[in-house]
Amino acid sequence: MSLNANIQEGDNKFRQYLFFWGGQLFSMLGSNIVQFVLILWISFETESELMLGLSSLVAFGPFLVLGPIAGILVDRLNRKLIIFSADATIAVTTVAAIVLFYTNNMTLYWFFIIIALRGIGDTFHYTAVGAMMPTMVPQKHLSRMNGINSLANGVVRIIGPAIAAGFLAIGGGGLLRHAHLLWMDIATFAIALVPLILITIPKVSSALEKGEKISFFKDFKDALLTIKGINGLFPLLVMFMFVNFFFTPFGTLLPLFVVKTHFGFEADYAIVVAFLQAGTVIGSLIMTFFKGFKKKALSSYLAIMWAFSIFTTLYFLPSNELWMVNGKFWLMGAITFLIVIVLPMINVSLITAFQIIIPQEKLGRTMSVLGTLSSAIQPIAMLLSGVIGEYTGIPIVYLVSGILGVVLCSILWLTTKASSLDQTLNEQIEEMKQLSLSSVQETPQSSAQEN
């Protein structure tokens, strides 16, 4: 195939990906609305740190258990079918929630079933979408596309809670307003379905077409060997186990930190979430217009230190009602903004690095195993943050988590070879440049021989 034909094919795949990506933004908007409604429901229904931590565990559990399996299946089976099945599962749970709210039968039992099923759908959806991206987006655009994706996600996560909070404030009474709002998720699912049906997702490999049997153990072992074989990746993985562990209380307990500790309401929580997502948007904007850091591991470590340090300051916010009347939730929102503004820099840098250094035919399973291992102890953090927060208060949990995060991550960075990933990545990029240059030089010679 000629160079021009290769370029044209690559551009066509990229256009199809952008079409698909646009539909997914609508779907994400609906999902964020559902998430906002369900979190507020359990926060006001129970006012329990333990129940909030347990709900996070149930929602996250499927990713931890099924993540490696999802990665293996995504590398082996039809990715379009996997995405459709996952999205359809999530849509069915939304319909179930609508019915339960309409009939006033929503209970903790049904709540946990719904969020568990949504967690299963999300696990397969994001694994498949993450694996298909480098097959449709040119390598030179990966970092910028990851930045744009993070930016768009942040905007959607601002709009979603704002729509939900506004609707809940002016909607009908009782649980009916929750049910009315959830219909938006069904509408956005239908919108996202159109691009998914129309695009063509490239096949990397198919065990079924080759007559091979899918061996989960073999593929899981292969992913582990891939991780072990990349210099600097394993110690960085261990560091992110600690990052995920000590950051978990922040997201898990934030709704009750607003509602219970600081006497807030739906609109107040929406303000804090808006600031939080604004930080994500600004951080993503930086990564969109900035080509990325050359030393991705080092920049990620420094960003982690920043986030944990700011995290500890939430402890010092006065929690008396009078202060909240005067100061509202703007200061709290500003602090969350400063915490999360660096997170897109970490995510975009590392995701781009992984997409470059991990072979495409192994990307799904390896990324899933990375995600599973880095989050392996996160469920313990969800339970502990709920239990400890119940007895000591959320501010204490936030303070201790931030301090331990700084100390342990610094020890890991200084005593391991985590920084070696930067050298590995730069060597891989240089090798890809040389291969690309060789391909360009060979094409004119081939054309001359044909003539």
CA-to-CA separations, 6 to 63, 138, 441, in angstroms, rounded: 36, 11, 14
pLDDT at residue 422, as a whole number: 78
Residues 159-199 pLDDT 10s? 887 788 777 766 554 555 677 888 999 999 999 999 999 98
Place of tokens 């960075």: 413
* Whether the Cβ atoms of residue 249 and residue 398 lie closer than 8 Å to each other: yes
| CATH topology for the 7-198+223-445 domain | Growth Hormone; Chain: A; (1.20.1250)
pLDDT at residue 445, as a whole number: 52
Question: What's the one-letter identity of residue 300?
Answer: S
User: Which has the higher per-residue pLDDT, 215 or 401?
Assistant: 401
pLDDT at residue 338, as a whole number: 96
Residues 255-280 pLDDT 10s? 889 888 888 877 788 888 889 888 88
Model confidence band, residue 347 (pLDDT cutoffs 50, 70, 90): confident
The DSSP secondary structure of 175-213, one letter per residue, reads THHHHHHHHHHHHHHHHHHHHHHHS-PPPS--TTTTTPP
263 in the Ramachandran plot: left (φ > 0), alpha (ψ -120 to 50) or beta? Answer: left
> Tokens in use for 401?
């988590």
Model confidence band, residue 146 (pLDDT cutoffs 50, 70, 90): confident
- The 10 Å Cβ neighbour count of residue 398 is 25
Q: Percent of the chain scored above 90 by pLDDT?
A: 26
Residues 427-441 pLDDT 10s? 766 665 565 555 545
pLDDT at residue 118, as a whole number: 94
- How large is the average pLDDT for residues 355-369? 78
What gap in Å lies between CA 451 and CA 445, rounded to an integer? Answer: 10
What gap in Å lies between CA 214 and CA 123, rounded to an integer? Answer: 19
* Whether the Cβ atoms of residue 38 and residue 111 lie closer than 8 Å to each other: yes
Domain segments of the chain: what residues?
A: 7-198+223-445
Model confidence band, residue 444 (pLDDT cutoffs 50, 70, 90): low
Residues 21-69 pLDDT 10s? 999 999 989 998 888 888 888 888 888 878 877 888 888 888 878 888 8
pLDDT at residue 301, as a whole number: 92
| pLDDT, mean over the chain | 81
Q: Percent of the chain scored above 70 by pLDDT?
A: 85
Least confident range from 83-87, 203-207, 289-293, 385-389: namely: 203-207
Give, in degrees to the nearest 5, the angle at Cα 82 between 81 and 84: 65
pLDDT at residue 433, as a whole number: 55
* Whether the Cβ atoms of residue 417 and residue 231 lie closer than 8 Å to each other: yes
pLDDT at residue 429, as a whole number: 62
pLDDT of residue 3 exceeding 60, the answer is no
What gap in Å lies between CA 336 and CA 143, rounded to an integer? Answer: 25
Going by the DSSP 8-state scheme, the letter that residue 261 receives in this structure is I
What gap in Å lies between CA 110 and CA 55, rounded to an integer? Answer: 12
Which range, 214-223, 265-274, 289-298, 431-440, is most confident? 265-274
User: Which has the higher per-residue pLDDT, 430 or 304?
Assistant: 304
The DSSP secondary structure of 324-375, one letter per residue, reads HHHHTTHHHHHHHHHHHTTHHHHHHHHHHHHHHHS-GGGHHHHHHHHHHHHT
Model confidence band, residue 416 (pLDDT cutoffs 50, 70, 90): confident
